[in-house]
Amino acid sequence: MHNFKNALAKAKSGEMLNRQEICALLAAGPEESEELFGAADRVRHDHVGDEVHLRAIIEFSNYCRKNCLYCGLRRDNHSIPRYRLTEQEILEAVKKARELGFRTVVLQSGEDLYYDAKTIAKLVETIKNRHDLAVTLSLGERSREDYLAWREAGADRYLLKQETADEHLFSIIKPDGNMQQRVQCLQWLKDLGYQTGSGNMVGLPGQTLATLAEDIILMRKLDVEMAGIGPFLPHPATPLKAAAPGSPALTLKTLAVTRLCLPQAHLPATTSLCTLTPDGRKLALNCGANVIMPNLTPAGVRDKYLIYPQKADIIEKPEAALNNIQALLTELARPPAQDYGHAKKPPGRSF
Ligand code: SF4
């Protein structure tokens, strides 16, 4: 059994951790966790600085062709009203984000083929022509040709979470797909020069510390530029409604270990963590996170995009959310970044 102290010393010296050592860090008790968080915070400071990047997220469609067991947007959930924003409505939300000072917009939806590759490419092009903004897409698994068209239209980044690196668990929670295809998509995105984001859920039923270690190892192997780590939260209209939620403590430990293993990555303080624990944002920023993604989805539809229940930001107005974030960043002496917040290293494939 690798002990915590040896594993942490190795991580601090910049050496690559193996699975057992990652597990030893994830198994940290309360006192050891404080040490782990301190180490992750220092690595964050040394490699990506103190600035916090704010990315405006616009959820433009809650239609989805897939049926993931954990997700409130799954196609078999007939209890939510579905919506699609028009191009004009999306562009208005983007304009608002720019006016509020954001330098990145994240366009996210369920896997909704209503928006074909051309429509998305035109949208990205219009945004890039009109605004000084980085564009992140998060539209799920699509063909290499679609990813290429959007990259050529000017998209800078793409988010596609692996959710779990355990092939068997993946096939259960995401019954429409398989891990190979997911990883293939991530490799295409890297090849095409996107700054690529993955991520995983903490506390999925059947998950172990070894699974979480594999998650971190997969993201390290893919050399992702971003990694979103959030707790599993059971949605009442899904087959996993009775499962226990993930633990905030283990989520924070996973975030901290990810920071140690991927020193240059952009790691958000996820909304799901803030939903689970009110001071989640502050805790995450103190153990490796350097990104916040406020919700700029128009208020009329925001409460219909519930992958998990009671998202922390469904009622708050963007202006009020920004004021709260500003106050927190002042308290933590972490300035909001003024630039696009691109990855520190050149994007591209390294596996
Ligand atoms: S997780 Fe994504 S792909 Fe799966 S049902 Fe939800 S929106 Fe669709």
DSSP track, 63-116: --S---TT-TT-TT-TTS---B--HHHHHHHHHHHHHTT-SEEEEEESS-TTS-
User: Contact, 336 vs 260, CB < 8 A?
Assistant: no
Amino acid letter, residue 160 = L
User: For position 344, what pLDDT does the model report?
Assistant: 77
Atom of ligand 1 nearest to the CA of 74: 5
**250 close to ligand 1 (CB < 6 Angstrom):** no
Residue 79's nearest CA partner among 238, 234, 232 is: 238
Domain assignment of residue 129, yes or no: yes
Domain assignment of residue 343, yes or no: no
What is the count of structural domains for the chain?
Answer: 1
Domain assignment of residue 337, yes or no: no
Domain assignment of residue 151, yes or no: yes
For atom 7 of ligand 1, which residue has the closest CA?
110
Say how far residue 185 (Cα) sits from the centre of its chain.
16
**240 close to ligand 1 (CB < 6 Angstrom):** no
Q: Is 213 exposed, middle or buried (0-12, 13-18, 19+ CB in 10 A)?
A: buried
- Residue of 73, 198, 240, 311 to mutate, ligand 1, most atoms within 8 A of C-beta: 73
For atom 3 of ligand 1, which residue has the closest CA?
66
Using the mean position of ligand 1's atoms as its centre, give its distance from the Cα of residue 31 in Å: 37
Q: How far apart are CA 174 and CA 68, in angstroms?
A: 5
Domain range for 171: 19-332
Q: How far apart are CA 215 and CA 165, in angstroms?
A: 5
User: For position 351, what pLDDT does the model report?
Assistant: 43
Whose tokens are 């009775």? That residue is 242
- The string of pLDDT tens digits covering residues 196-213 is 999 999 999 999 999 999
Residue 111's nearest CA partner among 146, 152, 151, 154 is: 146
Residue numbers in the chain where pLDDT is lower than 50? 1, 350-351
Q: How far apart are CA 7 and CA 146, in angstroms?
A: 42
Domain assignment of residue 6, yes or no: no
Domain assignment of residue 345, yes or no: no
Q: What is the CATH number of the domain that holds 63?
A: 3.20.20.70
The pTM (predicted TM-score) of the whole model is: 0.96
**111 close to ligand 1 (CB < 6 Angstrom):** yes
Say how far residue 122 (Cα) sits from the centre of its chain.
25
Atom of ligand 1 nearest to the CA of 71: 6
Domain assignment of residue 7, yes or no: no
Using the mean position of ligand 1's atoms as its centre, give its distance from the Cα of residue 164 in Å: 14
Domain assignment of residue 1, yes or no: no
